[in-house]
Every structure is written in C-alpha cells, then in structure tokens.
Amino acid sequence: MIIAVDGPTASGKGTIARALADHFGLPVLDTGLLYRAVGYQTQLGHGDPDNAADALAACDFPDTLLDDPALRYESTGGLASRVSIHPAVRKALFQRQVDFANQPGGAVLDGRDIGTVIAPHADAKLFVTASPEERARRRHAEMRARGVDVTYDAVLADVHARDARDTGRADAPLLRADDALLLDNSDMDIDEAIAAAIAFVETKVGRPG
C-alpha cells in the first residue's frame, strides 16, 4: 500500500505522515529532506541555489548528510525550495523516491508532488493544509520554543514566499491531486488531524492487521 501525503510548508504533513506510517506499519520518507540536503550541500560547496548546474552538482550529497541537524533549519528549507525549482534536480531525485514508494509492502511518502508525480498510483492520497496565518503561528511558536529569536511577521512572510515558490514553479508544482483528500487542519489540533487522516486511509484500504 502506498500513501501519498502532500501539502505546503508547516501544514503538519510530516507529523501526519509519520503517524500514518506507525499506524499502518509502513516505512516513511520525508522527501523534503532530500531537497534540503541538496540545498545545504549547494551552500557548503559555495554554489548558488538559483543556478541549475550548481544545484545539480549537489545532488550526489553523501547519505550521512541526511542526519545533519542543519537540514531542519528554517534557512535550509528556503534553500531547498530554491533548488527544487530546477527540473534537473527533480529528475536527479526522482528514481530514489519512486523506488522507495514501490518497495515491497508499500510506504508512506510526504512532500509536494507525491500524489501527482512520484506515486500517481498511490492507494490513498492526502493534501494536508492550513491557512498561511495558522501555519505561521505554529511555526513561530515552535521556533520560539527552540530559542530562535524571530517575529511572527517574518515567519508569515517566509510562509508566503515558500508557498509562492512551491506552487508557482513550472516543474511538478505543489498541487492537490484530483483524487486526494483535502485535509484542512486550520481548526483542528494535531490529534484530530491524525485521526481524520487514519479514518480516510481506512476507508480506502481497510484497517491494518
């Protein structure tokens, strides 16, 4: 069984994908981490993330980079969003994601183009979102709790910039697949959103076990 979880930045899609993986006993891939690794590796090599050749050269990053805490930084998310615009980068990361999706037994993947490009044949697709203000509020609270000194307005501006780049790019833009459940969790807490996601997948594929 393949479960595709797409959505914009700070929508809760990663948490929901991990909860689905736990519930259904499946491996999970956070595909954003691959783009984050490319963005970060580009910067480590003093390349320009807006330059396709520089970003492509960074696609052979070492796997150990995926464990680097720097990949989780907000600034790395911005680099990831910039390198993800280049079709050559998307092509270089394509097979790795397709292979993960098609492994025996199935998988959960979260990202921007899982239900549309990586696994259009997925058994269940979710498009997880929340209003930009609510996503910025959550991201701001999370960053403040980690001791990052940032204003809500700066986080909201970043959310808007990331949304514009991720939905506006020509190649595999962030898009809800026609057959994806729209899970807007603006007025839900995370437990309610997870319960709704599990209930939807169960209507598609049945209960685990």
List interacting residues with ligand DC (CB under 6 A): 9, 31-32, 35-36, 77, 80-81, 84, 111-113, 162, 166
Residue 7 known to bind ligand: yes
We find the least distance from the C-beta atom of residue 209 to ligand DC, in angstroms, to be 30
CB of 146 to ligand DC, least distance (A): 16
Can you tell me the distance from the alpha carbon of 155 to that of 178, in angstroms, rounded to the nearest whole number? 30
Nearest to 117 by CA among 52, 172, 195, 46: 172
> Widest CA span of the chain, in angstroms?
50
**CB of 1: closest distance to ligand DC in angstroms?**
19
How far is it, in rounded angstroms, from Cα 165 to Cα 50?
12
Helix (H) or strand (E) holding 109: strand 107-111
The C-alpha atoms of residue 164 and residue 120 are separated, in whole angstroms, by: 23
Does the annotation flag 8 for ligand binding? yes
Is 15 annotated as contributing to ligand binding? yes
Indicate the residue among 49 and 77 with the shorter CB distance to ligand DC: 77
76 belongs to an annotated ligand binding site: no
User: ∠ CA 143-147-153 to the nearest 5 degrees?
Assistant: 45
Q: Tell me the closest approach of the beta carbon of residue 207 to ligand DC, in angstroms.
A: 28
The distance of closest approach from Cβ of residue 142 to ligand DC in the complex, given in angstroms and rounded to an integer, is 13
Best CA proximity match to 42, nearest among 95, 92, 99, 80 = 80
Judged by beta carbon, residue 24 or residue 112, the one nearer ligand DC is: 112
Instruction: Report the DSSP pairing between strands 107-111 and 28-30.
Output: parallel
Its sign, for the CA torsion 18, 56, 169, 78, is positive
* Cβ nearer to ligand DC, comparing 33 with 194: 33
- For ligand DC, give the closer residue by CB, 173 or 202: 173
64 is in an annotated binding site: no
Closest to ligand DC by CB, 26 vs 118, is 118
Would the annotation count 14 as a binding residue? yes
Annotated binding site for ATP: 7-15
